Amino acid sequence: MKTVTTGLACVAALVGVVVVLFVIALGGVVTAGGRTHSYGAPGVVCAPAGVDPADLVDGFGPAQVSNAAHIVAVGVEMGVPVRGQVVAVATAMQESTLLNYANHTVAESLTRPHEAVGADHDSVGLFQQRAAGWGPVALRMDPRGSARLFYERLLQIPGWETMPLTRSAQSVQISAFPAAYAKWEHPAVLLVGALDNITCTGPAPGSPPGAGPVLPGAVAPHIRQVIDRALTQQGQPYVWAGGDAHGPTKGGFDCSGLMTYAFAGIGIDVPHQTQAIWQRFQPAITDPAQVQPGDMLLFTSNGRPGGIHHVGLYLGNNRMLHAPQTGDVVKTEPDIWNNTYYAREFIGAVRATHHPAT
């Protein structure tokens, strides 16, 4: 991520191609997507029906959505699976915040359409591609051309489809900070779903009643804010006693520190201790079927509150975001209700959003 001065002289040209729902332009003929998928189906990328892509990710405006639409369009034209489109958009989110960068040290880049100016070696464009091995400036500064370069390399990586996003992105970019891509996976899923016009229709088959959707875009705005804030920390290392209301401390988060950070964004003070979380936000919800996105899940080693040792944030559709243990990172745990360990240790959930800010 770069700290730069922005120059929006050319943004008007890009705003003209902003896409509200993704369309594919083929020789002047425009066709829409129009697919629907259930929340949480394996490998599915989707967004709530009728959502404006420009409203999905805080801080990402029309120019950035336009650039994401270029990336997705090229992926469709090349036959890249939706998963690859997510990898590409998440990568560009990390590398450039989806702004087309010129570079102070590359004179030609300043003559090309751009929205920001950086100075990282000779890196330019949405993917911050360098001269060595990536091609001429004109190609790297073209949103569609740079996307094609990214996809060509991604498709050459054996097994990229089943890799974690951090690994597939890193295999292309060779970044000094590969874990940083993780925090953009969820926003990229939402954005690609909206741009590809893939609509989420409801809970996945087999989800507990009341489990709710997997995507925070379908829940109340204040709960979505909590979830989105927590998801930005995916990939941060687990550090005992780490994390506070402002972000990671001591180099990362522990499980309760992540909750403290997540809820601070809406002014709710969550204690940095699991048993204190349980006590503060009673009454507890002990039936998994009644748990909703934004609830905190508590786990105990002995079936009693005195044995509570872990907490995670419920995302919906059987998924939990948490900071697991030393040597691991903040990540999403799938299918927790069918996981023997979590099902056995679950004592209940608490709903901090039903309590006044403290």
pLDDT in tens, 55-78: 878 788 899 999 999 999 999 999
**For residue 107, how far is the Cα from the chain centroid?**
34
pLDDT over 90, % of the chain = 57
Indicate the pLDDT class of residue 45, thresholds 50, 70 and 90.
Answer: confident
In this predicted model, what pLDDT tens digit does every residue of 137-178 receive, in sequence order? 999 999 999 999 999 999 999 988 878 888 899 999 998 788
In this predicted model, what pLDDT tens digit does every residue of 91-116 receive, in sequence order? 999 999 999 999 999 999 999 999 99
Q: Where are the beta strands (DSSP E) in the chain?
A: 5-6, 23-26, 29-32, 35-37, 47-48, 101-103, 116-118, 198-200, 296-300, 308-316, 319-322, 331-333, 346-350
Please determine, for residue 202, whether its predicted confidence score (pLDDT) is greater than 60: no
Higher pLDDT, 46 or 225: 225
Indicate the pLDDT class of residue 355, thresholds 50, 70 and 90.
Answer: low
pLDDT at 44: 53
Indicate the pLDDT class of residue 219, thresholds 50, 70 and 90.
Answer: low
Domain ranges of the chain: 5-200, 216-354
What is the pTM for the complete model shown?
0.54
pLDDT at 308: 96
Number of H helices, E strands in the chain: 12, 13
pLDDT at 6: 35
State the average pLDDT over residues 261-286: 95
Please determine, for residue 238, whether its predicted confidence score (pLDDT) is greater than 80: yes
pLDDT at 201: 54
Question: What is the pairing mode between strands 101-103 and 116-118?
Answer: parallel
Per-residue CA distances from 234 to 59, 181, 185, 258 (Å) = 19, 9, 9, 10
State the average pLDDT over residues 201-205: 43
State the average pLDDT over residues 197-219: 48
Please determine, for residue 46, whether its predicted confidence score (pLDDT) is greater than 60: yes
pLDDT at 200: 67
Please determine, for residue 214, whether its predicted confidence score (pLDDT) is greater than 60: no
Tokens 């500064």 belong to: 141
Q: What are the two backbone dihedrals, phi and then psi, of residue 321, each rounded to the nearest 5 degrees?
A: -100, 130
Least confident residue range of 197-206, 210-219, 326-335: 210-219
Pick the CATH number of 216-354 from 3.30.540.10, 1.10.10.10, 3.90.1720.10, 3.40.50.700: 3.90.1720.10
Query: Please, are residues 165 and 157 in contact by the beta-carbon 8 Å criterion?
Result: no
Please determine, for residue 54, whether its predicted confidence score (pLDDT) is greater than 90: no
Highest mean pLDDT among 179-188, 225-234, 298-307: 298-307
